[in-house]
Amino acid sequence: MKQKVALHTLGCKLNFSETSTIGKQFLKKGFSIVDFNDKADVYLFNTCAVTEIAERECRQLVRKALRINPEAFIIVTGCYAQLRPEEISAIEGVDVVLGSNEKFEIFSLLQDFDKKELSCVYVSPKDELNSFGLASSTDADSRTRAYFKIQDGCDYKCSFCTIPLARGKSRSMQPELVITEFKRLLEQGYKEIILTGVNVGDYGKSFDTSFYEILKSLINVEGDFRLRISSIEPNLLTDEIIKLAVESEKICKHFHIPLQSGSNSILRSMQRRYTVEDYKNVIEKVKERIPDCGIGVDVIVGYPGETEKEFLETYNFLVELPVSYLHVFTYSERPDTKAININAKVDISERKRRNKMLRILSDKKKNAFYTFMLDKELDVLFESKNEDDTVKGFSSNYVRVQTKYSPELENTVCSFIGNQIRNGILLGEIKEIKKSIASKSA
């Protein structure tokens, strides 16, 4: 009988990409992959260390897995494992802790998956974090969208962030390998490839190339596909990249651009590489060139030293900014970061209040953007059939849509016109099923 493995991911899209790659290794070794809530022989957790909540959730999930199967073999990897291996190995029932270099070497490091009395820890020191590891994955929608990791690590020194400690210095996949792996994903039938990395806009500097150059190469690959950029720093979203998105239908009209704070004094304390004015200029430049572009924003509330005045600077800045949605994070003290030593802590209840205010603002921004999209033609890549005989998809500019299911819509780009908004989804009708995703010359 096949052994069963359950995989669970915490954190960012990059983690989901890497979990899928790990899962493929298990499949090649004869395992079957089951849902986390089902009984499995092996449970693997790919963790995040951005917030204390992610760490706490990891501990809770380990306990839950052992309630389902007390004899299960428990593997914990990811950023939390790299940063706090001793804490994880002390969790009752954890068998193996794998660091960032080791996560793709499971079957080289482990001879069997028999439960152990003591945890084994395989974690390289942070100054040896130099492996890359191929990573690509499906989204929750079968063969429609794939995450593709082309960059890992980060050279930035943001005062609140542990990612450079967990993932090491910035490094990129060889350009030739990017093209090869990209073509392989297209051969598997994916129509949307999401380029991911810790700092994807930093791609290529060790090869004397750039993210712009790899984008140009990818859109010239033959095939029926579109590219989406998972997230890009405002100082790395260049005029060249914006121009390429204007000219090529193969690049989604959607950018997710971290802000973190709308206060220059907080940005300086965070050691970010831009000012509020710089950020505003980037957003205005994008919207001027691509008026229907969807723009997402990361923002942190409750950072040490953030007074009510500085929070309101952020709030009012975002109110006026032509963006589509916010990802709001409550600041969480992280060991080994500069910010943890700043004395002016913000009360937890105040952090929660500010988070709630920005989440409400995000809902308003999203609704306004969706309303602006009513009665407009949107290019939508549809997924698989839902239980209620409908089908959902994402537009190029990242509007979530839904319409009546028809088999020919699956994994197909269609012209869609929305006529109403319900529960945060744009409902409407198909105007045309497109035979290909056209691309103007770049």
User: In this predicted model, which residue has the larger pLDDT, 168 or 247?
Assistant: 247
> Using 50, 70 and 90 to split pLDDT, how confident is the model at 440?
very low
Instruction: Tell me if 64 is assigned to some domain.
Output: yes
Please say which residue of 252, 280, 314 terminates a domain: 252
**Domain co-membership, 11 together with 82:** yes
Which carries the bigger pLDDT value, residue 16 or residue 268? 268
440 falls within a domain: no
Q: What percentage of the chain has pLDDT greater than the value 70?
A: 93
Which of 325, 351, 372 is at the close of a domain? 372
Q: Is the pLDDT of residue 16 over 90?
A: no
For residue 365, being part of any structural domain is answered with yes
Query: What order of strands is seen across the sheet that includes strand 145-149?
Result: 136-138, 145-149, 192-196, 226-229
* Pair 231, 316 in one domain: no
| Residue 442 included in any domain | no
Domain closes at, from 128, 150, 184? 128
- For residue 66, count CB atoms less than 10 angstroms from its CB and return exposed for 0-12, middle for 13-18, buried for 19 or more: middle
227-251 tens-digit pLDDT: 999 999 999 999 999 999 999 999 9
Verify that 327 and 347 share a domain, yes or no: yes
Find the CATH number of the domain harbouring 122.
Answer: 3.40.50.12160
pLDDT digits (tens, 9 = 90+) for 85-125: 888 888 888 999 998 888 888 998 888 898 877 788 988 77
**If you average pLDDT over residues 163-170, what whole number do you get?**
85
Taking the whole predicted model, whether its pTM rises above 0.85 is answered as no
Whether residue 21 is found in the same domain as residue 75: yes
* Claim to verify: residue 151 and residue 193 sit in the same structural domain: yes
The range of the structural domain enclosing residue 153 comes to: 132-252
Average pLDDT of every residue of the chain? 90
Mean predicted confidence (pLDDT) in 387-410: 95
Which of 3-7, 18-22, 411-415 is predicted least confidently? 18-22
Residues 70 and 140 in one domain: no
Asked if residue 438 belongs to a domain, the reply is no
**Residues 307 and 411 placed together within one structural domain of the fold:** no
In a domain, 441, yes or no: no
Average of per-residue pLDDT across 382-386: 91
Does residue 318 sit in the same domain as residue 288? Answer: yes
> Are 419 and 399 in the same domain?
yes
Domain-embedded: residue 439: no
* 39 in a structural domain: yes
Tell me what pLDDT residue 147 has: 87
- Count of domains for the chain: 4
Are 238 and 195 found together in one domain? yes
Q: Which CATH number fits the domain that encloses residue 248?
A: 3.30.750.210
pLDDT tens for 246-268 read: 999 999 999 999 999 999 999 99
Q: Are residues 161 and 182 in the same domain?
A: yes
> Do 239 and 202 share a domain, yes or no?
yes
Looking at residue 18, what is its pLDDT? 86
